Structure 1
Amino acid sequence: MGVGIVGLGLIGGSIAYDLAAMGTPALWGLSRSLQTCGQAQELGVVTTAATEPQALTHWHETTLIIIATPLDQIVPSLARLLPFLDPQTVITDVGSVKAPIVAEALTLWSRFVGSHPMAGTHESGFAAARPGMFAHAPCVVTGDRAPAEAVELVERFWRSLNMDLVVCSPDAHDQAVAWISHLPVFVSAGLLLSCLREPNAVVQNLSKHLASSGFRDTSRVGGGNPELGCLIAAYNRAALLRSLDAYAEVIQELRGAIARGDQSQILESLQTTQQQRSRYCSPPLR
């Protein structure tokens, strides 16, 4: 299949690396950075690259376009492509929020299928891209309003990168990722902000010196891309607020048990989390 990629950052660049490794480099890539375009072409991960769609010539050979931009640029990027698209071209994205993106994109292009490959690192940009990043990671496909053959093409593409497909509605996706991806960003950020509010400078400096693997694991996503966190809060607001409210309620329950010295309640809560954690981490993390 002929593939075009809009956005050659961590995700788009890693897709390009995988396609090149399979011997079928992307027909083209679009990037805002002229330097990135040059690097991608020099490395052979795209056949051609440009900063503007009018500079490209492979439109009729392009069967699938992947929009790998930040959330707020997905629909505008699609709009920029419209004058050049072949009517049979299928378009997908990699955004971490689906319902508002899919709804708006489908008003512009009926062969749009929402995707969310759930792989990545805290880094960003083409320099962070690497081959093999998607292997055995889950990928959500939300194609309930797109033509069946368009959905099948998108599913086939992600399977070619050895991803594990999950099919669901955009709304279900957004509610689920609010729990396991978006809420942790703000819980982690809240932990870091709370530590920074310690008024005793000696205690705060000692805390920084003593912080080890547990703190690094718990705070990692709070130290990620701030712009991405802002976009998540804007695009998945309702689901995120719902999960934050539930989390705050649980924290108050735990605080109450600690304040009362209710060891039975504390033990029961921690036994529950110990037993249930493996259901969210497959294979179980050690």
Structure 2
Amino acid sequence: MSHEFAFERVGIVGLGLMGGSLARALRVLANPPRIVAFNRHRDGAERALAEGEIDAVADSAEEAAGGKDLVIYATPLDVALEMMRDHAAGWGDATVTDVAGLKEPLASVAGELGFAEQFVGSHPMAGGTATGYEASSADLFAGETVFVCGGAAESERIEAVESMWQAMGARVRPIDADAHDRLMVWASHLPQLVSNVLSRAMAEAGLRVEDLGPGGRDLTRLAESSPEMWTSLLDEASEENLRAIESMQDGLDFLRTALSERSLDEVAQLMRATREWRREQ
């Protein structure tokens, strides 16, 4: 099934893994839009231009965001929040979206600025630990879930953003911003933090990455993620993150007690229950 791409002029702010992949994915559409992009490190944008993935390099983020049909903020959350405040006056009638991991902070700012009807939050559940334009790929979003939080946006703008992601091969999942953000704490933030703490424990025990088998490598992969991307996300959802950590701590306390008391039947019961949960998905 084909999905019509509704935008002729697209501005992308940020050409790292996500923004670069967006540019590449848009370029291979049957009727690609004109893409103007800004990147903090200009060499990444110049490379995208030389490769034909974008049509022009903007000298500033404001230039990339002004006079477009669609503006995409492919930056960390705190940067997107700051830039939205700085750029709103130049959006005109553009539809505005993003790729950040939390949606309510951005939706709130859009409302404060008087642009709630134009902002459609997006969160692709795609990516990796590699960063920068060189890590980008045209098929990064193919087959992956993209949460779309329409909020107070006009229905035609929501439909247009959903069609954009579908045109890239993604599976769109509409969701309320608050529900999305709570889900992400448990589905994304907690695994990230657990991976960091597990990696630290292994390092302090003298282990090296080459000592790990497939399971250990899987569980510690997220430790390579960018701290710059994560700090603002963790700050904005701090209370829910604390609840998630407390739940994890309760589980570790249970294991400590069970193992110290040699209650291996209880450990086995936990393993059976979690195996059943995992296989039901």
Decide: shared fold, TM above 0.5: yes
Report the equivalent of 1:27. 35
Counterpart-to-counterpart distance in 1, 2:274 and 2:183:
18
Are the structure 2 counterparts of residues 47 and 208 from structure 1 closer, same or farther at C-alpha, using a change threshold of 3 Å? Answer: closer
1:100 to 96, 105, 110: 105
Alpha carbons 2:38, 2:45 under 8 Å: kept: yes
- Supply the AA of the counterpart residue of 2:27: A
1:187 to 194, 199, 215: 194
Residues 159-202 of structure 1, C-alpha deviation per residue, up to 9 Å, x if partnerless? 1111111111111111111111110111011111122333xxxx
Q: Does 1:132 align with 2:156?
A: no
Deviates more, 1:231-240 or 1:121-130: 231-240
Report the equivalent of 2:152. 145
Tell me the TM-score normalized by structure 1: 0.88
Residues 227-268 of structure 1, C-alpha deviation per residue, up to 9 Å, x if partnerless? 223222212212211111111111111221111111221111
Report the equivalent of 2:4. none
Report the equivalent of 1:120. 127
Displacement of 1:91 after TM fit? 0.2
Q: Does 1:67 align with 2:67?
A: no
The alignment yields a C-alpha RMSD, in angstroms, of 1.9
Alpha carbons 2:12, 2:65 under 8 Å: kept: no
Partner SS state of residue 229, structure 2? helix
Are the structure 2 counterparts of residues 85 and 218 from structure 1 closer, same or farther at C-alpha, using a change threshold of 3 Å? Answer: same
Deviates more, 1:208-217 or 1:219-228: 208-217
Counterpart-to-counterpart distance in 2, 1:8 and 1:208:
30
Alpha carbons 1:139, 1:165 under 8 Å: kept: yes
Q: Does 1:8 align with 2:15?
A: yes
Counterpart-to-counterpart distance in 2, 1:53 and 1:115:
19
Counterpart-to-counterpart distance in 1, 2:46 and 2:263:
63
Displacement of 1:209 after TM fit? 5.1
Counterpart-to-counterpart distance in 1, 2:16 and 2:267:
44
Task: Give unmatched runs, 5+ long, in structure 2.
Answer: 1-6
Partner SS state of residue 130, structure 2? coil
Deviates more, 1:116-125 or 1:208-217: 208-217
Counterpart-to-counterpart distance in 2, 1:57 and 1:5:
7
Task: Give unmatched runs, 5+ long, in structure 1.
Answer: 199-203, 281-286
Are the structure 2 counterparts of residues 196 and 54 from structure 1 closer, same or farther at C-alpha, using a change threshold of 3 Å? Answer: closer
Are the structure 2 counterparts of residues 159 and 219 from structure 1 closer, same or farther at C-alpha, using a change threshold of 3 Å? Answer: same
Counterpart-to-counterpart distance in 2, 1:72 and 1:81:
14
Q: Highest relative contact order (Cα 8 Å, sep 6+), 1 or 2?
A: 2
Displacement of 1:84 after TM fit? 2.5
Report the equivalent of 2:234. 233
Alpha carbons 2:11, 2:37 under 8 Å: kept: yes
Report the equivalent of 1:272. 273
Partner SS state of residue 153, structure 1? helix
Displacement of 1:51 after TM fit? 2.9
Counterpart-to-counterpart distance in 2, 1:115 and 1:46:
21
Alpha carbons 2:120, 2:158 under 8 Å: kept: yes
Q: Does 1:80 align with 2:86?
A: yes
Are the structure 2 counterparts of residues 112 and 257 from structure 1 closer, same or farther at C-alpha, using a change threshold of 3 Å? Answer: same
